[in-house]
Structure 1
Amino acid sequence: MSRDDSTMGGRRHELLEDVHAQVKSVLQEFGIDAAVADQAGAALADHLAQNWGGQNFTFPMDHHYYVTMRDQEIYAEFDGRNHHVLARKFNMTVRGIYKVIKRIRAKGDPDQHALF
């Protein structure tokens, strides 16, 4: 086995261990018994290995997913006059709120339905 194969094997193992530990931790935070949480974590890690093993994919490192959720929430709360309120609530600048609204409208207002 080459050194690269050994390193990649370690990384795969590290990923599955991390999934296991994270699931266990989150479930315990929700009040699930530690033994049950540990079993659920192991089951999810096993599921990923069995069903996704051998696949190559990349997890994005940016926070695009969370920004999108935040932007949708901002747009849902936007009433046309509450830029300052939203800026305070979401720890942004007023200009940033304007940009979010503009970006969502450019993609097409999700509340507007096509006529034809």
Structure 2
Amino acid sequence: MSRDQMPEILSDLADRTQALLADFGLEAEAAEQIGFALADEIAASWGGQPIYIAKGTRFQLSKRDLQIFDEQRALGINGLAKKYKLSVQRVYKIIARIRQERIASRQKTLPFGE
């Protein structure tokens, strides 16, 4: 499929893929080929289907919360609240939640009945 025959959304996908791969250092010609290949694959796999793409708000908030946790020593609670436009109480809750998640991920589960 040539670019002028490609639907706008697939053309945009190819362009964005090419730009991202170039940002990662892939040479332009290879990046372009991969962009077109991905657009073709998406068209072949999902063509004709209505597709909703979520904005990833939860993922973005999780990323933000991890940044807050990692920056707490450098900026302090008030600095974090100001930087992220959150209340001091919200920053405390975020830090407590991330701390609990990290503790839980490090703890081993004991088998029952032994």
| TM-score, scaled to structure 2 | 0.63
Aligned residues: 101
Greater helix content: 2
Q: Does the 8 A contact of 2:69 with 2:94 survive in 1?
A: no
Structure-1-length-normalised TM-score: 0.62
> Aligned partners of 1:54, 1:100: CA distance in 2, in Å?
44
RMSD: 3.3
- Which residue in 1 is equivalent to 2:12? 18
Distance 1:52 1:104 in 2: 40
Q: Indicate whether 1:49 and 2:43 are aligned.
A: yes
Distance 1:32 1:73, change over 3 A: same
Secondary structure of the 1:59 match is coil
Paired residues for 1:1-116 under 5 Å: 13-61=7-55, 63-78=57-72, 82-87=76-81, 91-93=83-85, 95=87, 98-102=89-93, 105=96, 109-113=100-104
Query: Take 1:32 and 1:106, find their aligned partners in 2: how far apart are those partners?
Result: 39
* Unpaired runs of at least 5, structure 1: 1-11
